[in-house]
Chain A
């Protein structure tokens, strides 16, 4: 497969970014220092190119019912202009992808999928719609859309300035909502107040051929507020501090939403509410929600210097492996080691001390409640 490039590739090269292959896309890993980029998002604002994310447009008279059947959330209950975090599960209840779905019209949803899963999710959505004989089609518009995120406490002001200064359309936006915005220069954006950093922030979906203009506009309007372009390294450290899962690390076909602590995204319907109906994985997920889980995703913190990394063994007092680290790094904001790991549910209680085999040496870490970092409300 040939390497895919963001429509902003030339901007990244001009900014001197270190580029990295990410799920078949060549994307910026960092522009300067990843720790400085991380702090910029916590303290002011960061600008991210997320054009590798998949935008799958679901349209049709039965679009809402089709997504109700294909996903674990009750999508037909979403109001216009709302966004919802959800998942696609296999019939056995394993997670095939985690998604954010935006209701852009009564019969039009945008499903944002992880880059690595985009093709499979698009095919699986259509297969599920067809199997249920529902009138809905999936179109993968990823390569004609650029996704540019402005994240951080200064982001609302910056996005308002990108619209010509009027905060009128931006300020009232609720978290997990989306609106059509007209940016300076007459550029159309679908702007959502969503993100993956644990900060207030916006994600701007724009036509690929306007991406360069939007990127430069954001850099110009954000400069005074301290906005910095940020790469995937900072994105990873920010999302981990915020306790957000990353598909391929915390989530996979071998894990269920319940094990990941995300059982709330699975909707079996509310009594007295509209009929939830059947959905793929329902039977298995209903059984799993009754049974309880043998392993649980937890947060770990440590005071040492050697970080637990993906794939390292979590051990008990006798150094037997009992679990596995899914992500870990030295937290730039907290100044201590943080990690997420699957451990036996009996060891998931906050305060429990476990070992992690860090390249042959036992390092002790302590179970804590997620997230590690939460912004002031």
Chain B
């Protein structure tokens, strides 16, 4: 069973969100260990561009592994403030440390994201 940190919030599409989810705050987004495991070794990340608008539940990028390609959904709505440049040369960080150096992008929220799941709720959907 892949780990599900208690201090993060989650989407049904297997992204995690860290930080305060009230409108105006900046959160960090990545994919869960469960998602990384299902995808296999990630070899290319197409993250949303800095300054672009992302919408909760909408596709905002792609994750490519040797085995498959999968769409990256934004779990929150707002403006992208930063993308993880380290993934350009080391996309495998998503597999190695999905909740750490494998983070993907940061978003300044234009709307609150109160309907995200907590760890227990995500454990139910990822089983």
Contact = CB atoms under 8 A, between A and B. Distances in A.
Interface of A: 18, 29-30, 33-36, 38, 233, 236-237, 305-307, 309, 329-330, 332, 359
A309 B66 contact: no
Which DSSP category, helix, strand, loop or mixed, fits chain A's interface?
mixed
Which DSSP category, helix, strand, loop or mixed, fits chain B's interface?
mixed
Nearest to A329: B66
Nearest to A306: B64
Contact of A35 (B37, B38, B64, B66): B66
A233 B65 CA distance: 10
A236 B92 contact: no
B41 interface: yes
A34 B41 contact: yes
Nearest to B37: A18
16 contacts: A29-B40, A29-B67, A33-B41, A33-B92, A33-B95, A35-B43, A35-B92, A36-B41, A233-B66, A233-B67, A236-B67, A237-B66, A305-B64, A306-B64, A306-B69, A330-B44
Contacts of A36: 41
B82 to A, nearest CB: 20
Contacts of B64: 305-307, 330
A305 B66 contact: no
B44 A34 contact: no
A330 B69 CA distance: 11
Contacts of A309: 68-69
A36 B96 CA distance: 12
B62 interface: yes
A306 B38 CA distance: 19
Given A305-B44, A306-B44, A34 B92 contact: no
Nearest to B67: A233
B13 interface: no
Contacts of A29: 40, 67
Contacts of A359: 62, 69
B46 A34 contact: no
B66 A38 contact: yes
Most buried by A among B65, B67, B69: B67
